[in-house]
A and B are shown apart, each in its own frame.
Chain A
């Protein structure tokens, strides 16, 4: 098409960040770029980064919405630290995102949005496009607004539609720059705006205008090509953690042969799971938007008592409200799953930002001795598998189970190998059918192996029983205040949770088994830790990594692994929660590395920290926290 000579450079990987006003459609642009990137076969990882305000005043720094994607021709695990290219739709976006662009990186700005007022709103004293402050970057000043208006001129559309189409111009330009086809986005737009031909036409024109702009404008002399990644054979789709969690629940319901009841109260970032599940009614899925968090979890207890697969989902502050009911679940010994999509706290905290700081709440946040198993996925795709595990544990051991995802996993995405339904575990429960003791039914007679009590459904003749939150006599379940019985029952319930360790996979040691430094992590930090560890190993250092998906109980071999290492570093996006549990349980001198900025770790910061530990000499400082 182009008559110019445009160089095409092959790259192994690229990180692109687009940022604009929260009304500019940046998340949409990012996710569309992501879909296309997935379809051309790259491995990828994304990081949406948006404000809590629905639509903050235009042009302000607190209204900036950004989306970062890293894509590669090899296996990657994080959305990248610094970006190679940044699209800034206005000065506020430039101001808040420039620090994450590497020196020498490509910087595309919408120069039309750099008016005096825009600059002032963003807090610039002088225009950065003019004052030389961007000299270290490869700056492209693109009149995005004007070019979009031009492209749509003859459609005579209202200004609002024209204004809203400029994100498609930016997307077109990015697709051109990274040599990706437009057809996928075209199909998507045709579907989305099938009923609004005007808007469809506007978006298509803007998209094409952006693409051809790259082709024709002399400024751009290079395009980049990133070849497909070699992933294990299979059929893939791009999936976010919340989508994977929702699909995992549908799959669990199917494999358990039980209708799913999902009770939830809207809260960021868990709401998408409710939205997703609400669409799957033909899978016999019942979603219940409760009046509050307490109603959500207690309705779930009612559904579990009724013999269904019962799940509630929330985020940190919502988990706090659910704690009393989870304690009731511990006493009733009914199976249900509590999803906590962690966000930055405490209290309302930073709702759209990520954190891993609910671990101790999950572990201990109830009155009395009320142990609950805890699982945590490490990547968006793993959310599917770990929620199935949460359901398996709940149904096998008759207990509430806590599942800890977080904002980063919830909204981040990666290519996911789709399993065949028959690859999934069989979760069919066995319901009590008949009396279990001398012609009577005792609700707390236990399975000798799992210590689970029988699940007897109301409506079953002959199995009538009454249970509640009051302490119960061993086996009969009758209310009991006998001191020895209480001591016995408390220990018995704890023992039941401990026994879950017999059914979970052992902790897996990655890296060098003979290293002296072990990095221990959990949840969404996996990608950053793994990347940092691998980079250091490639530089010749020896180190090993263990990533926990099971936090209560811990895998049976964990203690033995920990004993082998002279030094254990536990990076967490909190002030040291797993590290406390580890030190307490195994009496090893584990050290925390803690950052609580509402953002995932970058591989580089971890790499630097671990390098420091590796080169500090042999004297292990032991037992102290490294706060940042």
Chain B
């Protein structure tokens, strides 16, 4: 299983002896190229063209994050699994209003069911979430009747709004109050964690898309055309509640991340490096956790589950099998 590498230190990353090499004052380290799936760059890293050539050749994606842990962009090597057929199919489904709406609805349906699932879990643990679940279910039932993407986005926004209200009840931690969702910059610690987790999710799905024939530039829920990638944003809707939100709950309830892990220097807060690492560790463990997949009948990791989701989408686009979103069952 190839693993991602997270670089927090400053230094130079280059090609050496046909493998990856990281060099700075503190030390030098070789990274096994054959065992690396992607590289996440958080520190100030110097790279050169020779390195990019090598990375392209090895099919490794580079994801860049700024000082605040925000996603900046990706060095996306020339697609190695290019398929004109798939691009045409993707475009066909995007251009046809009904076909596009159908797929978009499926994404929201998956997201809604997974959110409800997370809430139900905590309700069984004795949290009073009855009202919120009812509210979400009411909204969820209207998904199928919408006739435009904008309407769908509005419902999604309302569901998410209700869902986030449950966070305070689930956590019951005065240091991590949700308040309202704030971005760019997030204004309180819980929002920081959500933003950071979501950006990790977007990049992970982008990396997975790279391993399929799909083109990440054509999304269905999030409009295409004027941004770099949007399919990864669509697919992440399904997995955010069951992966990121659960990681957030566990780092807070296990006291892995505490109030003083945040720096409130400029406007908004940022997560300290130590806390970022702790969060990523928990997140990577989650991704490696295996579950029994009912239709395949074997154990698959969450990471693999994302790839399977993309394959299902490919099948839908090719008209082989209708797409049904992944819904957690435990």
On whether the two chains bind one another, the answer is no
Q: Which residues of A contact B (CB under 8 A)?
A: none
